[in-house]
Chain A
Amino acid sequence: MIREMSFVAAISVFCIGLYCVLTDRNLIKICVGLSIMESSIVLLLVAIAYREGGLAPVFSAEIETYVDPVPHALALTAIVIGAGVTAVALGLSVLIYRHFGTLNIDKIWRSLG
Chain B
Amino acid sequence: MSHLPVLVIVIPLIFAFLSSLAGFWPSAVRRGIVGVGFLLHPLCVVLLVSRMLIRGPLLYEVGGWAAPLGIMLLVDELSVIFLCILALGMFFAFLYSFSTGTARQEKLHVFFFLLTASISGQMVAGDIFNLFVFLELTTVVSIALVALKKKRRPVISAFVYMVYAAISSTLLLIAIALLYNATGTLTMAHIAQRISYMPPASYAVVLVSVVISLGIKIGLVPLHFWQADAYDGAGSTVAGIFSGVVMKAGVYALLRLIFTVLGAGGAHSRLLFGFLLMAGCINIAAGHIGALFQLNLKKMLAFSSIAHAGYIFVGIGSGTAAGLAAAVFHAFNHFFLKTALFWSGRFFIAGKRSSFIPRMRGIAVSFPAMFIMFFLSALAIVGIPPTAGFASKWLIALALQERGLLLPLVFIAAGTVVSLWYYARIFVLAVQHPHETGNGIQGARMTKRQAAGALLVLMVLCLYSLSAAFFPQDFYSVFEAAAFRLREPAEYMEILLAGALQ
A/B contact in complex, CB under 8 angstroms: yes
A residues adjacent to B (C-beta < 8 A): 14, 18, 21, 27, 30, 34, 37-38, 41, 44-45, 48, 70-71, 74, 77-78, 81, 84-85, 88-89, 92-93, 95-96, 99-100, 108, 112
Check: B422 CB closer than 8 A to any chain A CB.
Answer: no
On chain B, the number of residues with a Cβ less than 8 Å from chain A's Cβ atoms is 30
Question: Which listed residue (A21, A27, A95) contacts B150, Cβ 8 A?
Answer: A95
Question: Which listed residue (A37, A45, A77, A88) contacts B162, Cβ 8 A?
Answer: A88
Check: B129 CB closer than 8 A to any chain A CB.
Answer: yes
Show 10 residue pairs from A and B whose CB-CB distance is below 8 angstroms, ordered by the A residue: A30-B163, A70-B186, A81-B169, A85-B140, A85-B165, A88-B143, A88-B144, A89-B159, A89-B162, A95-B147
Check: B490 CB closer than 8 A to any chain A CB.
Answer: no
A108 to B156, CA, bound (A): 9
Instruction: Contacts A88-B162, A89-B162 given; indicate if A71 touches B180 (C-beta within 8 A).
Output: yes
Which of the listed residues A48, A70, A78 has the most CB atoms from chain B within 10 Å of its own CB?
A: A78
Instruction: Contacts A37-B167, A88-B144, A99-B152 given; indicate if A71 touches B159 (C-beta within 8 A).
Output: no
A21 to B153, CA, bound (A): 20
A78 to B159, CA, bound (A): 20
Q: Are A96 and B155 in contact (CB under 8 A)?
A: yes
How far is the CB of B478 from the nearest CB of chain A, in Å? 34
Question: Which residues, 123 to 156 on B, are CB-close (under 8 Å) to A?
Answer: 129, 133, 136, 139-140, 143-144, 147, 150-153, 155-156
Please name all residues of chain A whose beta carbon is closer than 8 Å to the beta carbon of B140 when the two chains form the complex. 84-85, 88
Check: B276 CB closer than 8 A to any chain A CB.
Answer: no
Q: Are A85 and B162 in contact (CB under 8 A)?
A: yes
Q: Are B133 and A21 in contact (CB under 8 A)?
A: no
Please name all residues of chain B whose beta carbon is closer than 8 Å to the beta carbon of A70 when the two chains form the complex. 180, 186
Closest to B135 in A: A81
Q: Are A77 and B133 in contact (CB under 8 A)?
A: yes
Please name all residues of chain A whose beta carbon is closer than 8 Å to the beta carbon of B155 when the two chains form the complex. 92, 95-96, 99
Closest to B139 in A: A85
**Ordered nearest first, which 5 A-B pairs have the shortest CB separation?**
A34-B166, A48-B181, A99-B152, A81-B136, A41-B173
Please name all residues of chain B whose beta carbon is closer than 8 Å to the beta carbon of A77 when the two chains form the complex. 129, 133
Question: Which residues, 384 to 432 on B, are CB-close (under 8 Å) to A?
Answer: none
Check: B158 CB closer than 8 A to any chain A CB.
Answer: yes
Question: Which listed residue (B129, B167, B177, B186) contacts A21, Cβ 8 A?
Answer: B167
Q: Are A100 and B186 in contact (CB under 8 A)?
A: no
A41 to B144, CA, bound (A): 25
B residues adjacent to A (C-beta < 8 A): 129, 133, 136, 139-140, 143-144, 147, 150-153, 155-156, 158-159, 162-163, 165-167, 169-170, 173-174, 176-177, 180-181, 186
Q: Are B152 and A100 in contact (CB under 8 A)?
A: yes
A44 to B180, CA, bound (A): 12
Please name all residues of chain B whose beta carbon is closer than 8 Å to the beta carbon of A89 when the two chains form the complex. 159, 162, 166
How far is the CB of A92 from the nearest CB of chain B, in Å? 5
How far is the CB of A10 from the nearest CB of chain B, in Å? 9
Q: Are B159 and A93 in contact (CB under 8 A)?
A: yes
Question: Which listed residue (B144, B152, B158, B170) contacts A37, Cβ 8 A?
Answer: B170
Q: Are B177 and A96 in contact (CB under 8 A)?
A: no
How far is the CB of A51 from the nearest CB of chain B, in Å? 13
How far is the CB of B349 from the nearest CB of chain A, in Å? 19
Please name all residues of chain B whose beta carbon is closer than 8 Å to the beta carbon of A96 when the two chains form the complex. 155-156, 159
Q: Are A38 and B170 in contact (CB under 8 A)?
A: yes
A85 to B11, CA, bound (A): 24
A77 to B127, CA, bound (A): 15
Please name all residues of chain B whose beta carbon is closer than 8 Å to the beta carbon of A93 when the two chains form the complex. 159
Task: Kindly list 19 other residue pairs between chains A and B, CB separation below 8 angstroms, not including A89-B162, A93-B159, A95-B150.
Answer: A21-B166, A27-B159, A37-B167, A41-B177, A45-B177, A48-B180, A70-B180, A70-B186, A71-B177, A74-B177, A74-B180, A77-B133, A81-B169, A84-B140, A88-B140, A89-B166, A92-B143, A100-B156, A112-B153
Please name all residues of chain A whose beta carbon is closer than 8 Å to the beta carbon of B173 when the two chains form the complex. 41, 78
Closest to B161 in A: A92
How far is the CB of B331 from the nearest CB of chain A, in Å? 27
How far is the CB of B139 from the nearest CB of chain A, in Å? 7
Please name all residues of chain B whose beta carbon is closer than 8 Å to the beta carbon of A37 when the two chains form the complex. 166-167, 170
